[in-house]
Amino acid sequence: MDARVDDALEKSGDASKNSGMPNQRPSRAEAENAVRTLIAWAGDDPSRAGLIDTPARVVRAYEEFFAGYGCDPQEELDRTFEEVAGYNDMVLLRDIDLESHCEHHMVAIIGKAHVAYMPTGRVVGISKIARVVDIFAKRLQTQETMTAQIGNTMQAALKPHGVAVLIEAKHHCMTTRGAHKPDVDTITSHFTGVFRDDPRIEQRFLSMIRGAY
């Protein structure tokens, strides 16, 4: 492939990055065939008894792993509630389980997300925040991208005084291959508004996610 074609593909890939389904989605049969090819590439026989149903299972697993395509995270945050007796302090969801897949190796990223916001008189159902995390996690991701996407979506939809997102995760592409460093946690954070501008509020968030409050 020449460099220009490569470049153009890269750009079109960027434009559609994480935005939903690709233009031409292959059929289920094509996807299963691709799994057969990978099994053969690994050195096994895709037609042996133990592997015969594997392509169908892998494709069903992919439907779960990547269920976030075609879901609109903004929509989850559409309904807000004003009746909160004047509550105006931080709302924090700590230890949201995070299961994602890295876009470089398509293997698991497993960790926790902590998401907080400082409401402006209106709050959103807390399960919706966990749902936003899931929608972005169930796509091919980098941890950095996902952290920013969660923060920016919350900020745009709720227009709060600020949002804090912190993700700590293990990347299986670093534990079971490549660098083989199973104990490394990758930590990323994204702060907007008061979490970014007021060190006391940032500090409160960081202590609260550690369980010290």
Q: Looking only at residues 36 through 75 of this chain, which bind Zn ion when binding is defined by CB under 5 A?
A: none
Nearer to Zn ion, 109 or 154 (CB): 109
In the complex, the smallest distance separating the C-beta of residue 181 from Zn ion, rounded to whole angstroms, is: 13
Pick the catalytic residue: 99, 103, 168, 202?
103
User: Euclidean distance between the first and final Cα of the chain, in Å?
Assistant: 56
Q: Which residues ranging from 172 to 211 are in contact with Zn ion (CB under 5 A)?
A: 173
Q: What is the largest CA-CA distance in the chain?
A: 64
Three-state SS at 28: helix
Q: Smallest distance, Å, CB 122 to Zn ion?
A: 38
Task: Spot the catalytic one: 32, 76, 101, 143.
Answer: 143
| DSSP element (H, E) containing 36 | helix 28-42
Give the DSSP letter of residue 48.
S
Marked catalytic residue, from 99, 155, 168, 173 = 173
Residue 103 annotated to the active site:
yes
Decide whether 102 or 194 has the Cβ nearer to Zn ion.
102
For the four alpha carbons of 68, 63, 35 and 112, in that order, the dihedral sign comes to positive
101 is catalytic: no
Minimum distance of Zn ion from residue 173's CB (angstroms): 3
71 is catalytic: no
For residue 27, the minimal CB distance to Zn ion (Å) is: 27
Strands 91-102 and 108-118: antiparallel
Contacts of residue 189, Cβ cutoff 8 Å, sequence gap at least 6: 147, 164, 165, 166, 167
Binding mask 88-127 for Zn ion (x = CB under 5 A): --------------x-xx----------------------
User: In terms of CB distance, is 125 or 178 closer to Zn ion?
Assistant: 178
User: What is the C-alpha separation between 3 and 193, in angstroms, rounded?
Assistant: 41
CB closer to Zn ion out of 121 and 178:
178
Q: Report the relative pairing of strands 140-141 and 186-191 from DSSP bridges.
A: unpaired
Output the six-digit token pair for 127: 């399960």
In the bound state with Zn ion, the residue whose beta carbon lies nearer, of 168 and 198, is 168
Amino acid sitting at position 33? N
Q: Is 171 a catalytic residue?
A: yes
Let me know if 102 is a catalytic residue. yes
Amino acid at 81: F
Which residues contact Zn ion by CB under 5 A? 102, 104-105, 173
- Active centre residues (catalytic): 102-105, 143, 171, 173
